Structure 1
Amino acid sequence: MSRLIIGAMVRTVGAYPSGWRVPGAHRDPRGDAAVLRRTAEVAEAAGLDYLFFGDWLATGEDLAYRDPYLVARIDPISAVTYLAGITSRIGLIATANTSYADPYTLARATASIDVLSGGRAGLNLVTGAEPRAAGNFGVDAHAANEVRYDRAVEFEHVLRRLWDSFEDGAIVADPATGLYLDPARLHATDFHGQHLSVTGPLNVVRPVQGHLPIVHAGTSPRSRLFAAQSADIALVAVSGLEQAAALREELRALAFESGRDDRTLKVIAPVMPIVGPTLEAAQQIADRLSELVPIAEDWPDGAPASLPETRSLAHLSHLVGVDLTDLTPDREVTDHLAAQFTSFGEELVEIVAERTGRYPGAERSSTLRHLVVAASVNASMVVGTAPDIAAEFAAWAEAEAVDGFNVLSATQPAQFEAFAEEVVPELRRLGVIGDAPEHDVTLRERLGLARPYNVHVSPSDLGLRLASAGDALGRAAVERSPRHP
């Protein structure tokens, strides 16, 4: 059985849309510093591999309903810098948007964090999915997907050349001879592409890890190509074990076709465990989270315009093939009503049953609200006791469906601490993860990745390879994509 990488995706007000409404949950971003500190302490004590910080470059009232954790959040570079000083072992991964970031500034900040943390920094590169971000950076419009990825390819290439500005022995600092710098071991970047132009060199020594591990997440064929060619970790959202295994095989095949060792690409899936002392208790937690999600029919005089259109009985009616608009959200789903649903509606009924223990005709019957929430809240949830969840992780490891999981916590701090303190020991007992390192290790070492050669001196430096949907590799990605919508 493969051993899994386990990281935590940090969302301080909870990853579930209603997580902040649960009693005892953190809900005010002005108190994020304490939550970040506590999260890091618990994660490091449990031996998790890293903490992961996503990003979003705009805000608006719609996010308060859709994803409250996006409304106001700490800048990820600032978050990992803060935590680098109060942790000693856990990896710290920050997100940057290549569409708007400056590569020199980002290379300097991330190299500095890696040096200061002893080699524990990682970088998630994204191209952005929020059109409102353009105006925040003085741009008229968010660039098209292909253009954004052309820039991302250049960006990743420039980052590595900047990180490698100093060879490892460039700083001589010999007091006897007075030689401080070996100029032959300091390299200019000298990159001039279609989207970026950077001269370099970077004024920070080479990171402890050589290159920070690069993460990328995306669903388009071009994003998969970028991950396969350039990333150390590919984050993939999947609906189940079989899809995960197929997508991992696809990404690794694409990595191999790109000329790299496909074993160096780690495929990680996000998952939201709901942990309870019993299965019934865990289902009740999931049930309560569903009940606290507002949907359109909760406003008799009309829902706010910013409420997602998917949070309504009208949208559910379309999905299940039955007109439900004259009913109330808390109307029970009877056997007779469920029998009229489409196959997708039947799947929703099963999802609700697995998560909450509610199903048609039972003493605790599912309601239309439960179906609306199941259809509109995109979360890969595993509900149960700590042994239940560990066994599910073990099944994925046995099938080699993924190389690890990014764990989302529905509520903070309760669900995060339940996972770290109850599930992680079970994973260790099953051999799904190894023992926490007894000595300090770099994030690359935790991920099973070697320290890369310096691109300025290594014969393996193949230079920049711009790949697009018109290339053979790009066509292969496009052709594979229909299997994983």
Structure 2
Amino acid sequence: MTEPLIVGAMVRTLGAYPSGWRYPGAHADPRTDAAILRRVARLGEDAGLDYLFFGDWLATGPDLEFRDPYLLARIDPVSAVLFLAGITERVGLIATVNSTYADPYAIARATASLDLLSGGRAGINLVTGAEPRAAGNHGRDAHADNTARYDRADEFVQALRLLWESWDDDAWIADADAGVLIDPRGLRAAGLEGTQVRVAGPLNVARPPQAHPPIVHAGTSPRSRALAATEADLALIAGPDLASAVQARTELRALAQASGRDPDDLKVIVPVLPVVAETDAAARAIVDRLLLLVPIDDGSSGHADREAFPPHRSLGAFLDAAGVAPDDPVRAASVDDAVPAAVAARFDEPAARTLELVRVRTGRSPGGESPITWRHLIAAHAVPAAFVVGGPSVIADHFEQWREARAADGFNVLSAFQPAQFEAFTQLAAPELRRRGLLGRTGETLRERLSLGAPRLVHGRVPVG
């Protein structure tokens, strides 16, 4: 029987779609994130999800309000998983760490502590950073170049593994009668003297239950793909379509095998943004509302006067992309006017594709009883999203299709807004996924649950415990 998919949740408390926080009833205040985190953790664990994943971004600015509002203010991911460790029992907890700026000893200590406190449910997502403003926040004049960042990331992983292996499992004797607490032969220094990372060790935390908490990595550059293939347990890829995901997974597995690894020990995970409701029509209505809530330059909102407002969210920008002539009378239309079918027929291919996506995802059509407006097209063009829209069967069909095509070993589930959309996924889609054998992995530790096998130990000793 085919093993169930890996299904985790990528938690963004303000929602994964930029207008999600505006949806009626959606969470919109990061000062009350604790309540949302508790609810998401409870829902995810009860639904049998394999892990909760927390990304990170080391800076903020007014531009993020329109581009990625969830990045404006957010809980530190290591703090988030430590918070949830005490109120969950089974679900994995993965925190993002930026190896460009983080201290490897502190991170090894925090992740080993999380693994102990959670009973072996810790994971770490290593990133190298892409936000130039992060440099100033860490006392540096400039963000390191790609080569330097990945040189450090390679050594950072080595430091983590050495520090996690500071203690042998049988080093802790605790013989009260003999007065012997430890066997000092089972405690070792890290002694790493790299060009980017130096760490002495040993680590003053007991050996993690998983020995090595699973390592996650994402990226598209050759160095990033090499790091994922040689060191990561989970590789996150963009997977914009089925064919590109199949190709990316095949290439990563080949790289892993070329490095001497069993390619089955590298799990390839893609993101998915399901918009879920009891019926397909109800799900399409949610997408319709989300598009209408995207801030655009409609001539009356005042958004366009703000310095951080994106310049491409206007009727003129969309018509330029659609290949509509500068002197075409349609440029005088209101953004809330219906798109004439005759005009839509003249769109260039990219704009025609946007129109088709809006039609499929909202149920509207040019010239129909529920017409597509210019506002819909402006929003869908300016804020694209790979929505999978529908009731439980539609969502399960998508998961099943990607598994059968070997495009992914699993999915990171995003929710357009919280908590209602995550609740809809866990209570409507998850049971259907479980019924089809697509959800429901088992294992005491996260490593076991992900079917990763024993870790590759630096010192070559198999853990006793």
Please give the TM-score of this superposition, normalised by the length of structure 1: 0.90
Deviations 1:454-482 (A, max 9, x none): 312359xxxxxxxxxxxxxxxxxxxxxxx
Asked whether the 8 Å contact 2:48–2:439 carries over to 1, the reply is no
Q: How does 1:60-459 map to 2 (within 5 A)?
A: 60-299=61-300, 302-322=304-324, 323=326, 326-434=332-440, 437=442, 441-458=444-461
1:470 corresponds to:
none
Cα 1:180–1:270 shift into 2, 3 Å: same
Asked whether the 8 Å contact 2:278–2:428 carries over to 1, the reply is no
SS at 1:243 equivalent? helix
Asked whether the 8 Å contact 1:227–1:234 carries over to 2, the reply is yes
* C-alpha distance in structure 1 between counterparts of 2:174 and 2:128, whole Å: 40
**What's the CA shift for 1:241?**
1.5
Tell me the amino acid that sits aligned with residue 310 of structure 1: H
1:469 corresponds to:
none
How many pairs were matched up? 456
* C-alpha distance in structure 1 between counterparts of 2:287 and 2:255, whole Å: 38
Asked whether the 8 Å contact 1:59–1:71 carries over to 2, the reply is yes
Deviations 1:319-376 (A, max 9, x none): 3222475443223222222222221112111111121112322222222222222223
* C-alpha distance in structure 1 between counterparts of 2:35 and 2:162, whole Å: 37
Does residue 7 of structure 2 align to residue 6 of structure 1? yes
1:41 corresponds to:
42
Cα 1:250–1:315 shift into 2, 3 Å: farther
SS at 1:61 equivalent? coil
Cα 1:258–1:318 shift into 2, 3 Å: farther
1:462 corresponds to:
none
1:463 corresponds to:
none
Cα 1:351–1:157 shift into 2, 3 Å: same
* C-alpha distance in structure 2 between counterparts of 1:358 and 1:96, whole Å: 42
Asked whether the 8 Å contact 1:167–1:454 carries over to 2, the reply is no
Deviations 1:107-165 (A, max 9, x none): 00110000010000110101111111110000001111221111111111111111111
Range that drifts further, 345-354 or 406-415: 345-354
Asked whether the 8 Å contact 1:270–1:380 carries over to 2, the reply is no
User: Could you list the runs of 5+ residues in structure 2 that have no partner in the other structure?
Assistant: none
* C-alpha distance in structure 1 between counterparts of 2:449 and 2:459, whole Å: 26
1:481 corresponds to:
none
Tell me the amino acid that sits aligned with residue 357 of structure 1: G
1:22 corresponds to:
23
Q: How does 1:455-474 map to 2 (within 5 A)?
A: 455-458=458-461
**What's the CA shift for 1:310?**
3.5
**What's the CA shift for 1:212?**
0.8
SS at 1:405 equivalent? strand
SS at 1:297 equivalent? coil
* C-alpha distance in structure 2 between counterparts of 1:57 and 1:359, whole Å: 42
Tell me the amino acid that sits aligned with residue 367 of structure 2: G
Asked whether the 8 Å contact 1:3–1:397 carries over to 2, the reply is no
Tell me the amino acid that sits aligned with residue 309 of structure 1: P
Tell me the amino acid that sits aligned with residue 281 of structure 1: A
**What's the CA shift for 1:299?**
4.5
Tell me the amino acid that sits aligned with residue 415 of structure 1: Q
**What's the CA shift for 1:245?**
1.2
Tell me the amino acid that sits aligned with residue 414 of structure 2: L
Deviations 1:16-38 (A, max 9, x none): 11111111111111111111111
1:479 corresponds to:
none
* C-alpha distance in structure 1 between counterparts of 2:7 and 2:100, whole Å: 29
1:477 corresponds to:
none
* C-alpha distance in structure 2 between counterparts of 1:453 and 1:179, whole Å: 30
Deviations 1:367-425 (A, max 9, x none): 22222222232422100001111111111112121001100111111100000011000
Range that drifts further, 122-131 or 1-10: 1-10
SS at 1:310 equivalent? coil
Tell me the amino acid that sits aligned with residue 308 of structure 1: P
Deviations 1:229-283 (A, max 9, x none): 1111111112221221111111111111122111111111111100122211111
Deviations 1:426-451 (A, max 9, x none): 001111123x64xx710111111113
Cα root mean square deviation, aligned: 1.7
User: Could you list the runs of 5+ residues in structure 1 that have no partner in the other structure?
Assistant: 460-485
